[in-house]
Structure 1
Amino acid sequence: MEPVIEDDVVLLTVPADVGYLGVLRTATAGLAARLHFALDEIEDLRIAVDEACAMLLAIASRGAELECRFAVSDDALTVEVGVATIRGARLPAESSFAWKVLTALTTSASATVADSRATIRLLTRRAP
C-alpha cells in the first residue's frame, strides 16, 4: 500500500506592495521545483501568481498585507493569495484578459470577494 502524503502548508505574509512580489514568486518557484515541475511549468506558475497578486494589489486597502498560502501535495501546488480590500472592491470579470492568463497558466483558478476581503486560488497539477 502506498503511503499517504499529507499536504505541506507554507504561509507567507508580505506588505501589499509590488516591491514584495518577488518574495512570492521565489517561494512559488521553490515549492514547484520541490514537486519536480518542469521549468516551463514553474515559470507559468510564477507568472500566474504575479498576475493574481497584481489583481489583488489594485483593490487592496491602504496598509494591507498579502497573505499567501501554499499547499503542496504529492502532485499539485495550490496557491491562495488574499488581501483586505477597499470598500466595494471587485476583481476583473472572468472574461477579462487577466483571468484568461490565469486559466491558461494553471489547472484551475477561482476567486472570492466577501467581507472586505478578496482571495484568488490557483491550482496547478504536475504534468505526468
Structure 2
Amino acid sequence: MAELTVLADKDYLPLARISAMQVAALLQLPLPQVADLRLAVDEACTTFLVAAPGRSVEPAAVSGGRLYLCYDRYPDHLLVTVRGAAPAMWPAQDELGWEMLQAVAASVGTEVADGIGTLTFIEPLEP
C-alpha cells in the first residue's frame, strides 16, 4: 500500500508518524485507531534508534543507516514492517517503548538476520 525509507535518525521520525497518519486516513480508520497506529509506528522505528544499556548506536549521519517502513493492506488487517540495522541486543524488550508498542499493536514480531532487524505488527481492520 505504501513504503517509506528515511535516515535512521530521530529527526526523521516525524515523517514516519505522518506516513502512519496518511495511511490511516486512506483506510478511513476511526480517530482512536489513527492515534494507536501513529504511536505504534513511532515506537517501532524508535527501537532501531535506542541502544541497549551500556551500548551505543552510531548516528545515521556517520553510518548512513536507513529505516524502511512498509504498509501492506489485507482484507482484515494492515501489516506494518519496519526494517533497519539492528543495534546490539535489539530489541530492548524491557523498555517502556516496547511495552507501549505491544499495548497498541497486535501480533508484534521481530527477527534479526545478518545484522538487519525486522519488526512487524498488525493493525486490525474492520471488513
* Counterpart residue number, 1:92: 92
Q: Is the CA contact 2:2–2:23 (under 8 Å) kept in the aligned structure 1?
A: no
* Counterpart residue number, 2:66: 65
How large is the RMSD of aligned CA atoms in angstroms? 1.9
Structure 2 unaligned spans of 5+? 52-56
Q: Number of residues paired by the alignment?
A: 118
Q: Is the CA contact 1:67–1:83 (under 8 Å) kept in the aligned structure 2?
A: yes
Deviations along 1:57-116, whole A, 9 cap, x unmatched?
Answer: 125652200011111223322110111235x442113x5433221111012211112211
Q: Distance in 2 between matches of 1:21 and 1:70?
A: 16
3-state DSSP class of the match of 1:91? coil
Q: How much has 1:127 moved relative to structure 2?
A: 5.0
* Counterpart residue number, 1:104: 103
Q: Report the AA paired with residue 48 of structure 1.
A: A
3-state DSSP class of the match of 1:20? helix
Q: How does 1:3-42 map to 2 (within 5 A)?
A: 9-42=1-34
Q: Distance in 1 between matches of 2:4 and 2:42?
A: 15
Q: Report the AA paired with residue 17 of structure 2.
A: R
* Counterpart residue number, 1:55: 47
Q: Is the CA contact 2:5–2:69 (under 8 Å) kept in the aligned structure 1?
A: yes
Structure 1 unaligned spans of 5+? 1-8
Q: Report the AA paired with residue 92 of structure 1.
A: A
